[in-house]
Amino acid sequence: MTQDRTWNRRRLLMLGGGAAAGAAFGLGAKVATASESAPTAVPTSSRFDLTQPSYDLFRHATLHDARVQQSFCFDNVNRRLFVAQLKDGSADSSGDLCITQLDFSGNELGYMYLLGFGHAVSIAAQAVGTSTYLWTEVDVNSGARGKRLARFRWSSGTTLSNTSSALTKHSPVSDATETTCAIDPVNNRMAIRYLNTAGSRRYAIFNVNEVAAGNYSNRLADFAQPSDSAVFQGYTLYGSYVYQLTGTAYGADNPSPGNAYTSSVNVNTGALTQRAFTGAGSTLTYREPEGMGVYRTAAGEVRLFLGFASGEAGDRRSNLFYKNVLV
């Protein structure tokens, strides 16, 4: 069943606040040893039912640059939305990124450029008062992926290099050769997806504030990413579940309604809990799944967001949809 739905008064609940930039940095970086980071447990939570319909936030939003979106995130406190893409005019291998701030109707409010950071498979936002701090991968490796995490204050119109003093760098998993993160804004936890030196792709769960303070000793969970031959396109965290998005763009070998799937993974067991096809945005042109995020509205409804790129080459657009049924 196609899950496209007209977005109606639900949107009124989504809009909760303004936008602005602010100040203050986190502290950096103590590397955890294996003995310091034995997993404990994440309290059991409800989970999103991935078989339920998806609803539109917006379609066909124009980003600051014209390339495909890679991921997105919400500052749940200050009601801000950020979308990441590779920078126009830069080689993919450079790891140069563009971050666009959008309002919840898809209008551009600002942008930043990040040079030598990575691929932006997943980004995260953390509120500090009225300021937003972004978390991204940084220090691009030979595979065009970031080796560590960077935390920095959002400042529209700014260009940061990977050596900027405005960054605080973190290595929560000491043997990671690739590192990205996602934040659960409801429970203040961070999921880190990493590739270790043994070539294993894994997730680790931490408390956001502890990572920001450079304390990586309290690893709440650590488990292997479930095996899946589909193309990985994003993830996020809510409660005791990591959510994943897979699939590829429409084409001769992948016609509409496409091959996009969502899945949930229990962080305490590492077991795949649910996997479901999604037809969200099935009528889009191109339609490549790109990114996931969690947001809680001002009215208290928690939403699992799925991102899709659309449009023609040289004019790609951003599209966000959400699910809101918890079980």
The predicted-structure confidence for 11-40, as pLDDT tens digits, reads as follows: 333 334 333 333 332 333 333 333 345 576
Q: The tokens 């930043």 sit on which residue?
A: 112
Q: Which residue has the higher pLDDT, 273 or 16?
A: 273
At residue 249, the pLDDT reads 98
pLDDT at 314: 95
CA-to-CA distance for 175 and 47, rounded, in angstroms? 31
pLDDT (0 to 100) of residue 8? 35
Burial of 218 (0-12, 13-18, 19+ CB in 10 A): middle
- Residue of 118, 121, 126, 96 lying closest to 24 (CA atoms): 126
Give the model's pLDDT for residue 13.
Answer: 39
Q: In CATH terms, is domain 10-323 a member of 1.10.3470?
A: no
Q: So what's the pLDDT on residue 38?
A: 58
- The answer, yes or no, to whether residue 234 has pLDDT greater than 50, is yes
Which pLDDT does position 39 carry in this prediction? 72
Share of the chain above pLDDT 70, in %: 88
pLDDT of residue 23: 31
pTM above 0.85, yes or no: yes
Q: If you average pLDDT over residues 49-77, what whole number do you get?
A: 98
- Residue 139 is predicted with a pLDDT of 96
Average pLDDT, the chain: 90
pLDDT of residue 228: 87
Q: What is the percentage of the chain residues whose pLDDT exceeds 90?
A: 87
pLDDT at 26 (0 to 100): 33
The more confidently predicted of residues 78 and 7 is: 78
10 — pLDDT class (breaks 50, 70, 90): very low
Q: Which of 295, 267, 276 is nearest to 57 (CA)?
A: 295
* Domain parsing of the chain, residue ranges: 10-323
| Distance, CA of 154 to CA of 177 (rounded, Å) | 26
The answer, yes or no, to whether residue 187 has pLDDT greater than 50, is yes
The tally of CA atoms less than 13 A away on the side-chain side of residue 202 is 19
161-171 residue pLDDT tens: 999 999 999 99
Bond prior to 257 in cis (omega within 30° of 0): yes
Q: For residue 100, what are the β-bridge partners?
A: 83, 111
Q: Which of 32-46, 73-87, 167-181 has the lowest mean pLDDT?
A: 32-46
Structure confidence at residue 225 (pLDDT): 97
Residue carrying structure tokens 């990985």: 232
Q: 72 with 59: CB under 8 angstroms?
A: no
The answer to whether the beta carbons of residues 227 and 256 sit under 8 Å apart is: no
